[in-house]
């Protein structure tokens, strides 16, 4: 874990202005002592919801994202459409004009994912963050605070070194955290960086206290103890036959990867991270739901029974494989000899988009526009973040905001 403090002479000038608009306020008029935030790579609004949770009176003065469906969803929920401008085209003058106190960033993760090409800052998708770092150095009034979120793997990247170099005038704290550490039953470890200008990091600033020397991951800073995870049932839709039918997992989706599926049930205390490919592929994209923990074994029993029966009808002896064989052989036997779900197999379904949104910490009133398809909703949620974790970190980052700004106008 890293705690970095460096001093530079950075001029600070703030013009603060609130305007009530939905939950987090948007700026249109003048008033002091209200935090102004810019969302970069805002997505469907996870950063926005996190800021609302941490500091309800904050104003969002600008938001940016190039994904039209993410912008549609953001606009539907918050009443203002993000700019679709390419972040690489943003100038220091344009960002200075926002007079932002806080930057919230969730840049593309593909350059750093462990399953990707790991091209790091040489990946074209990293170019917008590199551009932002260059612009940050040129700004007359840089943000006094910053939060950056990315995948695990960013903490060992060359890009992280570039980020820390650009933040040489800031005190920084870094974390790798998962929603399970906030009591939410989904594993989604992510890298987070918090930064405060050294000139604004006084004794009441939480970042002025060095992090304990412990391995990753640290607990979320406002929590003394890691709470137990709630059962998954707290986040699931009301159970009904239509739910299992509408979100049933087709056999084709798991035929070649059934042994790699993570099964959860309403009593489970953790589910696997949902990726943007959820609903398209089974392996490594997220957990699938059974109604009862005993149904997992029953599902495999009836599938292996049918594998043996179909193989026998074809004159193939699969008993060496099915009787304690290796997983690879079992998987091959299932894929080769089971044409469809057995009629008596217990039902298996996907998590719904609403359930995933709850697990991510989005508020009950959050919704997707009707034209956004189910597949697109899964993709947008897979690219989003945990409001529970980011809200917790923003409370930590902004804990001294009201105190240091009382009676001040910038």
Q: Tell me which H or E stretch contains 145.
A: strand 145-151
Per-residue confidence at 98, pLDDT binned at 50, 70, 90? very high
Chain centroid to CA 43: how far? 10
Asked if the domains at 3-222+385-405 and 238-351 fall in one CATH topology, the answer is no
Measured CA angle at 265 (ends 261, 271), to 5 deg: 60
Average pLDDT over residues 39-64: 97
Q: Which two tokens stand for residue 184?
A: 């939410």
CA distance 359 to 386: 8
Chain centroid to CA 65: how far? 15
Per-residue confidence at 11, pLDDT binned at 50, 70, 90? very low
Predicted model pTM: 0.88
Q: Is-contact 181 219, C-beta < 8 A?
A: yes
pLDDT beyond 50 at 5: no
Give domain limits for the chain.
3-222+385-405, 238-351
- Report pLDDT digits (tens) over 264-274: 999 999 999 99
- Residue corresponding to tokens 């600033």: 205
- Report pLDDT digits (tens) over 71-87: 999 999 999 999 999 99
Q: Residues of 43-53 as b/e, b for ≥16 C-beta within 10 angstroms?
A: bbbbbbbbbbb
Q: Residues of 370-386 as b/e, b for ≥16 C-beta within 10 angstroms?
A: eebeeebbbbbbbbbbb
Output the DSSP codes for 71-115: HHHHHHHHSSPPB---GGG--HHHHHHTT-SEEEE----GGG-TT
- Report pLDDT digits (tens) over 174-191: 999 999 989 999 999 999
Output the DSSP codes for 225-285: SPPPPPPGGGGSPPP-HHHHHHTBPPHHHHTTTGGGPPEE-TT-S-BPPPPTTBTTB-TTS
User: Which residue did the predictor score with more confidence, 314 or 352?
Assistant: 352
Phi, psi of 38 (to 5 degrees): -115, 130
Per-residue confidence at 222, pLDDT binned at 50, 70, 90? low
Q: Tell me which H or E stretch contains 329.
A: helix 327-337
- Report pLDDT digits (tens) over 289-301: 999 999 999 999 9
Number of Cβ atoms within 10 Å of the Cβ of 302: 17
> Which of the residues 109, 229, 273, 392 is marked catalytic?
109
Whole-number pLDDT of residue 24: 57
Tell me the CATH number for domain 3-222+385-405: 3.40.50.150
Residues 6+ apart with CB under 8 A from 333: 304, 307, 311, 318, 321, 322, 325
Whole-number pLDDT of residue 226: 76
Choice among 19-23, 46-50, 248-252 with the minimum mean pLDDT? 19-23
Choice among 211-225, 283-297, 363-377 with the minimum mean pLDDT? 211-225
| Average pLDDT value for the chain | 87
Q: Is-contact 178 217, C-beta < 8 A?
A: yes
Whole-number pLDDT of residue 21: 40
Q: Which CATH number fits domain 238-351: 3.40.50, 3.90.120, 3.30.470, 3.30.70?
A: 3.90.120
Identify the bridge partners of residue 278 per DSSP, sorted by sequence position.
281
Residues 6+ apart with CB under 8 A from 31: 16, 17, 18
Whole-number pLDDT of residue 333: 85
Whole-number pLDDT of residue 214: 58
CA distance 16 to 157: 35
Per-residue confidence at 224, pLDDT binned at 50, 70, 90? low
Average pLDDT over residues 122-138: 96
Per-residue confidence at 114, pLDDT binned at 50, 70, 90? confident
Average pLDDT over residues 98-108: 97
pLDDT beyond 60 at 384: yes
Q: Which two tokens stand for residue 113?
A: 């994912």
DSSP 167: T
Cα–Cα distance list, 91 to 14, 85, 148 (Å)? 18, 11, 20
Per-residue confidence at 22, pLDDT binned at 50, 70, 90? very low
Whole-number pLDDT of residue 217: 55
Per-residue confidence at 410, pLDDT binned at 50, 70, 90? very low
pLDDT beyond 80 at 211: no
Please confirm, yes or no, whether 109 is among the known catalytic residues.
yes
Average pLDDT over residues 18-45: 68
Per-residue confidence at 16, pLDDT binned at 50, 70, 90? very low
SS3 (DSSP) at 148:
strand
Per-residue confidence at 320, pLDDT binned at 50, 70, 90? low
């Amino acid at each position: 874990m890293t705690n970095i403090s460096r001093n530079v002479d950075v001029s600070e000038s703030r013009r603060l202005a609130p305007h009530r608009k939905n939950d987090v306020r948007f700026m249109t008029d003048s008033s002091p002592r209200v935090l102004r935030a810019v969302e970069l790579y805002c997505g469907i609004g996870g950063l926005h919801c996190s800021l609302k949770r941490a500091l309800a009176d904050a104003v969002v003065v600008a938001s940016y994202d190039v994904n039209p469906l993410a912008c549609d969803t953001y606009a539907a929920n918050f009443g203002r459409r993000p700019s679709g401008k390419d972040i690489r085209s943003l100038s220091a003058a344009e960002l200075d004009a926002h007079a932002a106190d806080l930057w919230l960033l969730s840049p593309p993760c593909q350059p750093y994912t462990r399953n990707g090409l790991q091209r790091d800052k040489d990946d074209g998708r990293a170019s917008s963050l590199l551009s932002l770092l260059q612009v940050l150095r040129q700004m007359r009034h840089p943000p006094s605070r910053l939060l950056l979120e990315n995948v695990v793997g960013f903490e060992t990247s060359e890009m992280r070194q570039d980020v820390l170099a650009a933040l040489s005038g800031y005190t920084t704290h870094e974390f790798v955290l998962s929603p399970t550490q906030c009591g939410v039953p989904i594993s989604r470890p992510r890298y987070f960086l918090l930064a405060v200008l050294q000139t604004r990091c006084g004794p009441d600033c939480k970042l002025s206290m060095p992090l304990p020397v412990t391995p990753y991951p640290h607990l979320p800073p406002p929590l003394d103890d890691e709470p137990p995870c709630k059962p998954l049932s707290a986040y699931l839709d009301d159970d009904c036959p239509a739910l299992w039918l509408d979100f049933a997992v087709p056999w084709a989706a798991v035929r070649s990867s059934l042994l790699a599926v993570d099964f959860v049930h309403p009593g489970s205390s953790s589910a696997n991270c949902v990726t943007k490919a959820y609903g398209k592929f089974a392996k490594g994209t997220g957990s699938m739901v059974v109604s009862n923990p005993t149904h997992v074994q029953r599902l495999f029993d009836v599938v292996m029974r049918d594998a043996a029966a179909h193989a026998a009808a074809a004159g193939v002896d699969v008993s060496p494989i099915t009787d304690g064989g290796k997983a690879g052989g079992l998987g091959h036997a299932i894929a080769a000899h089971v044409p469809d779900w057995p009629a008596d197999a217990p039902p298996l379904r996907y998590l719904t988009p609403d359930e995933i949104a709850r697990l991510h910490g989005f508020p009950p009133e959050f919704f997707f526009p009707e034209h956004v398809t189910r597949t697109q909703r899964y993709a947008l949620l897979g690219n989003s973040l945990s409001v529970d974790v980011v809200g917790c970190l923003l409370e930590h980052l902004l804990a001294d905001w009201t105190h240091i700004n009382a009676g001040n106008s910038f």
